[in-house]
Amino acid sequence: MTNISDAQVNVFAEKYGSPLFVVSADSIKSNLETFKAGFCNKYPKVVVAYSYKVNYLPGLLDVIHKQGAWAEVASGFEYGIARKLNVPGESIVFNGPHKTKEELEKAINERAIINVDHFDEICQLEEIASTLGKTVNIGIRLNMEVGINQLPDRFGFNLDSGEAAHVVTRCSENGLLNITGLHVHLTSYIVEKESSDNIPAKGIKLIWPKDHEAYRKAAEKMVNFAKEIREEFGIKIEYMDMGGGFPTVEGITPYVDAIVEPIIKGFNENDLPVLILEPGRAIVSDAAHLITTVVAAKEFPSGQRAVVVDAGINLLPTSYWKYQDIEFFKQSEQVYEGTIVYGPLCLQTDIISKAELPELSAGDRLLVKNVGAYNIPQSTTFIYPRPTVLLIDGNDIRIIKKREEIKDLF
Ligand SMILES: Cc1ncc(COP(=O)(O)O)c(C=O)c1O
């Protein structure tokens, strides 16, 4: 994120209250540009569909769509947000395991890309196609072994077991659904068992980013599958959707190569599919920080230093899995010491960080950095309302979400 100074932190907190999310439009724009350029420099047909679930505040989505990105949505609710922002149906990728019949009909009518998750959805779509009296285009979500721990993957059809091939046979036999795309998402984090005390959710370590070779493996398997179904059923794959899970944009090149090389090798030059990418975290993670204020300083009998701040896991639920990066601006002569940063909730587990900090006192401001991904949409009103979100767009500073108040509950 464009740097935010000590002075700004205090001015913003005084003017808009604390805690306060601050989002940088410039960071979003430059992340999107770098991400897209990374792929466009090596592949001719690229679509970037930003993953709404990661942070779908309309003011932030507006910045993203003005940069030309499509929407990747995982529910009819998110689909509705995209349409309200005037994203045309044909620029929406509709994913997710729960789409109602009405939502699917709307998406079909509006020519959205629909990636199917399971056989019940196939049944629903077949019914719709019969009623409409026409063939409906679909993509299928795949899961497969690619050498990383994605947990048992509950999404999509398994490629290795022949389940995905079964879908293809079914679709070509009954002629109601036409498979035009293949989709995969290799999960955002990968998971490793870990017993270290340093991990908030003890026993589980989340790793991000994953090895880029996992993408190569997935792309190779999908290209082979595309070839097989072309030979056997004459099915032409028009798009390959490689999902999200990418690192910060500075490290994107090996991921680009891992995805693009197998596709270029596996398809004829004139028949290259559109490459769809669904980044979320890579675009918004470092574009938002949270300003928080110390409400109490503590020292435990063990000598352990701690502070209580006004934002906890209610606003930063990703703190269950990782400690947040905290910045304290004031230069201090004091000794920096390992400090537990507690939130204000009545929960022993409400810890957002363990950080090296000087001795702090009530009223000091801290900046919790790079919290733009998966926090705001998963935040709760547990004990406290959700705070204001501020967007800084060049010289323009505006509120894109108001602090919730008691009246909002009634
Ligand atoms: C289908 C799909 N696409 C894209 C994403 C975005 O992932 P990330 O934020 O890691 O880029 C997700 C997140 O879970 C997802 O489920």
Residue pLDDT, tens place only, 384-406: 999 999 999 999 999 999 999 99
CA dihedral 230, 235, 236, 239 (to 10 degrees): -110
pTM of the model: 0.96
How does pLDDT run across 113-157, given as a tens digit for each residue?
999 999 999 999 999 999 999 999 999 999 999 998 876 678 999
Share in percent of the chain as helix, strand, coil (round to 5): 35, 25, 40
Residue 96 in contact with ligand 1 by CB distance below 6 A: no
- Residue 58's identity, in one-letter code, is P
Q: What is the mean pLDDT of residues 288-298?
A: 97
How much of the chain exceeds pLDDT 90, in percent?
88
Residue 260 has pLDDT above 80, yes or no: yes
CB 84 within 8 A of CB 71: no
Ligand 1 atom nearest the C-alpha of 281 is 9
Residue 185 in contact with ligand 1 by CB distance below 6 A: yes
Residue 36, pLDDT score: 98
Partners of 290 in the beta sheet?
21, 368
CA distances from 265 to 3, 42, 213, 226, 269 (A): 42, 13, 16, 13, 9
Per-residue tokens: 257: 């190569």
pLDDT-derived band at 308, boundaries 50, 70, 90: very high
Residue 100 has pLDDT above 80, yes or no: yes
How much of the chain exceeds pLDDT 70, in percent?
97
Q: What is the mean pLDDT of residues 327-331?
A: 78
Question: By alpha-carbon position, which residue is closest to atom 5 of ligand 1?
Answer: 244
Q: Where are the domains of the chain?
A: 6-22+287-409, 25-284
Residue 252 in contact with ligand 1 by CB distance below 6 A: no
Residues 6+ apart with CB under 8 A from 316: 290, 324, 343, 352, 368, 371, 375, 379
Task: Give the mutation target among 28, 51, 117, 248 for probing the ligand 1 site: most ligand atoms within 8 A of CB.
Answer: 51
Beta strands in 300-342, from DSSP E residues, in sequence order:
305-309, 325-327, 337-342
Residue 192, pLDDT score: 77
CA 382, CA 398: separation in Å to the nearest integer?
26
How does pLDDT run across 50-88, given as a tens digit for each residue?
999 999 999 999 999 999 999 999 999 999 999 999 999
CA 83, CA 71: separation in Å to the nearest integer?
10
pLDDT-derived band at 380, boundaries 50, 70, 90: very high
Per-residue tokens: 164: 């995905």
Distance of CA 278 to the CA centre of its chain: 8
CB 274 within 8 A of CB 280: no
Residue 358, pLDDT score: 94
Stated length of the chain: 410
Tell how far the Cα of 147 is from the centroid of ligand 1, in angstroms.
Answer: 19
Residue 143 in contact with ligand 1 by CB distance below 6 A: no
pLDDT-derived band at 187, boundaries 50, 70, 90: confident
Q: What class, spelled out in words, does domain 25-284 have in CATH?
A: alpha beta
Q: Which of 63, 30, 32 is nearest to 48 (CA)?
A: 32
φ, ψ of residue 259 in degrees (nearest 5): -85, -45
The CATH superfamily label for domain 6-22+287-409 reads Lyase, Ornithine Decarboxylase; Chain A, domain 1 (2.40.37.10)
Within 10 Å of residue 102's Cβ, how many Cβ atoms?
10
Residue 190, pLDDT score: 81
Residue 410 has pLDDT above 60, yes or no: yes
CB 206 within 8 A of CB 321: yes
CA 315, CA 85: separation in Å to the nearest integer?
25
Ligand 1 atom nearest the C-alpha of 187 is 14
Across the chain, what does the average pLDDT equal?
94
Question: By alpha-carbon position, which residue is closest to atom 12 of ligand 1?
Answer: 244
Task: Give the mutation target among 114, 259, 278 for probing the ligand 1 site: most ligand atoms within 8 A of CB.
Answer: 278
Select the more confidently predicted residue: 188 or 173.
173
- Residue 238's identity, in one-letter code, is E
CA 281, CA 378: separation in Å to the nearest integer?
14
Residue 141 in contact with ligand 1 by CB distance below 6 A: no
Q: What is the mean pLDDT of residues 218-226?
A: 98
pLDDT-derived band at 99, boundaries 50, 70, 90: very high
Residue 13, pLDDT score: 96
CB 172 within 8 A of CB 165: no
Tell how far the Cα of 400 is from the centroid of ligand 1, in angstroms.
Answer: 23
Tell how far the Cα of 55 is from the centroid of ligand 1, in angstroms.
Answer: 11
